[in-house]
Amino acid sequence: MNDNSNKHLYKYQQDQLLKLVAKSFYKELVKYGVESSDIVTVSLHLLDHLTDQSSSDDRVGRYFSSEFLLQDIADNWKEKEQLSIHKVSLKLLLPNQISLICRWLKKSEIQMTFIDFLPKNEIELSQYMFEDPERTYFGIHYDGTFVGIIGAENIDKTHHKLEMKKFIGADDFSGKGIGKRATFLFLYYVFMILGFNKVFIHSMDTNIRNINLNSKFGFELEGIFFQEIYRNGELFDVVRMGLLKNNWMEIFSG
């Protein structure tokens, strides 16, 4: 595939992703009681914010490479199976953490995410986390406190790819950038330690924040599964995004 074809494909993917985000944003505005006549006003306010935050360097806003790079990671995997960056660490999940995870899984905010499909019974969740060779989960720690999980599902050693899932369960830890740093560490583990080539994710169309966050790591739209999930009497589209090792390396090598 030549450069022109790649550019056209990238533009098409971005257009589709933006259409999806716009659709989800519209649904959220209606859900919160914004009148149709006021949505144009909201659009104008968005343009104002765009003007205020414009930057001469497009990459600063597009990717997280302005916040961290590969050389910022403390790699202690060989010594104690731990990766760290800016107060956030990943360690292999332990059986004694299952009961706390089960309590987190009862929270209402996870009901519209794929984390909600995890077993919520301690015995079943323990079997799910530790007894399947195609699955590996890590504990996310912030300044020494266990705050969430991130993991690999559908590990495909033949084709060097896997699916990523994550969530922060502990209260009072939002807004600290823990999720994005944990994601960066996990991607380092997949690409640099396992030597895999691809990570993919699935997200419901309403999860705009998650879609935007993953885009800033270099994830690109691979497809939309229309009306794929039935939740609370409503059908939802599912987005699949993928990230290749060489693209990630280009963004975060500095």
Considering the domain boundaries, does residue 234 fall inside one? yes
Instruction: Say if 159 falls within a structural domain.
Output: yes
3 within domain boundaries:
no
Q: Which residues pair with 246 in a beta bridge?
A: none
Instruction: Read off the pTM.
Output: 0.80
What's the pLDDT tens digit per position in 4-25? Answer: 666 666 677 777 777 777 777 7
**Domain count of the fold of the chain:** 1
CA–CA separation, 45 vs 147, rounded Å? Answer: 35
Structure tokens at 192: 């640099």
In a domain, 25, yes or no: no
Q: What is the largest CA-CA distance in the chain?
A: 60
Residues lower than pLDDT 70 in the chain: 1-10, 32, 37, 40-61, 112, 205-207
| Tens digits of residue pLDDT in 57-96 | 444 457 899 999 999 999 999 999 999 999 999 999 999 9
Q: What is the pLDDT of residue 113?
A: 78
Q: In what order do the strands lie in the sheet with 74-76?
A: 74-76, 82-85, 88-92, 136-142, 145-156, 161-168, 198-204, 234-244, 220-231
Residue with tokens 């991130």: 150
Nearest 5 degrees, angle CA 116-CA 118-CA 120? Answer: 95
Residue 40 domain-assigned (yes or no): no
The helix (run of H) or strand (run of E) holding residue 247 is helix 245-252
CATH number of the domain within which 179 lies: 3.40.630.30
Q: What is the model's pLDDT at position 61?
A: 56
CA 137 to chain centroid: 15
At 231 the pLDDT is 83
Residue 172, domain extent: 55-252
User: Which segments of the chain are extended strands (E)?
Assistant: 74-76, 82-85, 88-92, 136-142, 145-156, 161-168, 198-204, 220-231, 234-244
Residues sharing a CB contact under 8 Å with residue 35, sequence separation 6 or more, in sequence order? none
What is the per-residue burial (b if ≥16 Cβ within 10 Å, else e) of 214-228? bbbbbbbbeeeeeee
Assess if residue 209 is contained within a domain: yes
Q: Is 245 among the domain residues?
A: yes
**Nearest by Cα to 91 from 104, 102, 101, 76:** 76
- pLDDT for 15 equals 74
Q: Which two tokens stand for residue 196?
A: 């895999």
Read off φ and ψ for residue 183, nearest 5 degrees: -60, -45
Which tens digits make up the pLDDT trace of 85-94? 999 999 999 9
* Locus of tokens 């939740």: 231
Residue 20 lies in a domain: no
